[in-house]
Amino acid sequence: MCSSFVCAAQNLMLDTEVPDTSIAVIGYFCKNDSMTFRKTYSKIKVEKGDTTVDNAFTEEFLIVVTDSTSDGYRMKLIPIAFDYSEESDSIHRIMQAKLSELSKDIVCEFTTDEIGKVQSIINWREIRDKMKVGIKGMCDTLYSTIPFLNDIMPRKQVENTLLLRFSTEQGVREAYNELNELFGLHGNIFDIGDKEIDTQANGYPMHVTASIGYIPVEDEDNDFDDDYSIISKSVTTVPIEDILDLGLDSMGLMMTDALSDSLANHRKDMLDSITAAMPNGAKNFNIINNEYYEYFFNGWPKESFNQKISGYGFGERIETSHIVWIMRHWNLVIPEDEDQPSHEI
């Protein structure tokens, strides 16, 4: 079933009336609604004018509403296609090939509350068990293809680190970052217009500029009145020392003790080298996050763009994720004050 706009779903914000000067991100979904999305991901580094692709892929997936109740929705994320870029370095190509081969058969079942915010991964244990098999197969291929890799990153440490990521429901949920990109803002109310704020992100100063508003109808077949967008840019200032320590800690989890100790012993040299390469002897990195979210009037995600740019003296690392809808099937319900029947798109 699907409730109309004037029923329970209208009172989702803890019975708080949303003023005309604000936009509430609320999902008005219906059972059997479905949308197909295409995600393009890239992770590149730019140094002295040269661009290297560390990782890049394109995937398509279907999200379908399997049940709609007064408490929320049950949905499925169903993989459709996955293509990895031949420009990615060899290790990433090997890892992606094995994991994509496995993940094409994994359906993620999840729930949202009545607003459309993701609450739980129903079958996370099933996903965990399948990923155990996939990670073992990936490591078999990786370590047989690159024999010396075990001397640098012992297989047992790498395998255990990857398995740990999927050992809890929270870990599985974080692996499905598409869900956060599409539904992460549901349940929030935003003031319409432009704003600038200074705040904190994990204890570091952050400056945010944002723009929220309705989108003009450009294509009558694909756009609707009351479609809206949320745009933001944040700049977080982080000491070079903290970024370096975070990277060393992450690498140390998978490297041999000798290499990990060696990196730690050269920490000061590495810090001096990075600092010397920073413009004007800067002591901090600026991490820039560009975000763009577009929604249909009923709260279905229309487009999501997330880009993280980290400058580190020698160059930049740019990580970009772009999700856009490519097909939809809805059972629309018209507000009660409009004497029109429900219809499908």
What is the rounded average pLDDT of the residues 183-201? 93
Mean pLDDT score of the chain, rounded to an integer?
A: 81
Highest mean pLDDT among 142-146, 225-229, 340-344: 225-229
Residue 344 banded pLDDT, cuts 50, 70, 90: very low
Can you give 294-334 as a three-state secondary structure string? EECCCCCEEEEEEEEEEECCCEEEEEEEEEEEEEEECEECC
Q: Is the pLDDT of residue 273 over 70?
A: no
pLDDT (0 to 100) of residue 261: 56
* Domains located in the chain, CATH noted: 8-13+27-344 (2.30.230)
3-state DSSP of 180-234: HHHHCCCCCEEECEEEEEEEEECCEEEEEEEEEEECCCCCCCCCCCCCEEEEEEE
Residues of the chain above pLDDT 70, percent: 73
Average pLDDT over residues 43-65: 88
Window from 57-61, 75-79, 242-246 with minimum mean pLDDT: 242-246
Residue 205 has pLDDT above 60, yes or no: yes
Q: Could you report the per-residue pLDDT of 233-269, keeping only the tens digit for each?
A: 999 988 776 665 565 455 444 545 555 555 556 556 6
Mean pLDDT across the stretch 129-147? 84
Per the CB < 8 A criterion, the answer to whether 179 and 280 are in contact is no
Return the SS3 of 73.
strand
